[in-house]
Structure 1
Amino acid sequence: MFDMLYAFEKYTKVANGYTSIGNVRNPTNTRPRDMMESFFLGETLKYLYLLFSDEQTMISLDEWVFNSEAHPLPIHEA
């Protein structure tokens, strides 16, 4: 996991945020774009926060499930 976080900083960090890259296969020429995808903050960083948060009481995974955009949805009894 640390390798992934390091790669975010190394290849996508720019002066005012994080950029998307045009070439993930060539680390010497990633072709940074002049934009940050909206899902980077709204999904990617939210997933990382949920995974690594020390807050054990934030949300019970026995009662909630996350959808593909990391929104919590209650689990209802069938």
Structure 2
Amino acid sequence: DFEVKPRDAFYILRPEAVESFFVLHQLTGDPIYREWGWEIFQSIQRYCKMDVAYGSIRDVNRPEERPTDKMESFFLAETLKYLYLLQDPDSEIDILNKHVFNTEAHPLRRFDRF
């Protein structure tokens, strides 16, 4: 079982939601996933951006608090990459026919045969 407790209101710049939006947009073409991605990007800019980096949020219910002084590498490697690809209408990344992503969101070209 998985339970989110009321005090579990942190955001540590994880990529899973925007990765899901990217995949769903590739599968359906529904523009709502781009809209949601754009809203997430704007919120990250508004609440997580610091002078030279981005920081995690201890409690999303208290947006007036300063972000923590910690940015995990997955934020640049995955979260921002998926947000970019989600908004890029000319992207050659095609997870349905041409590419797969490894765990760090690096696109790898698929081969028809080995």
TM-score, L = length of structure 2: 0.54
Q: Distance in 1 between matches of 2:98 and 2:105?
A: 15
What is the RMSD computed on CA atoms of the aligned residues? 2.2
The answer to which structure has the higher helix fraction is 2
TM-score, L = length of structure 1: 0.72
Q: Distance in 2 between matches of 1:25 and 1:49?
A: 26
The answer to which structure has the higher strand fraction is 1
The answer to whether structure 1 residue 59 and structure 2 residue 80 are counterparts is no
How many residues align structurally?
Answer: 76
Pick the aligned partner of 1:5 from 35, 41, 46: 41
List 4+ stretches of structure 1 deviating above 6 A: none
Match of 2:85 in 1: 50
- Mind listing any 5+ residue stretches in structure 2 that lack a counterpart? 1-35
Aligned residues: percent identity? 45
The letter of the residue matching 1:6 is Q
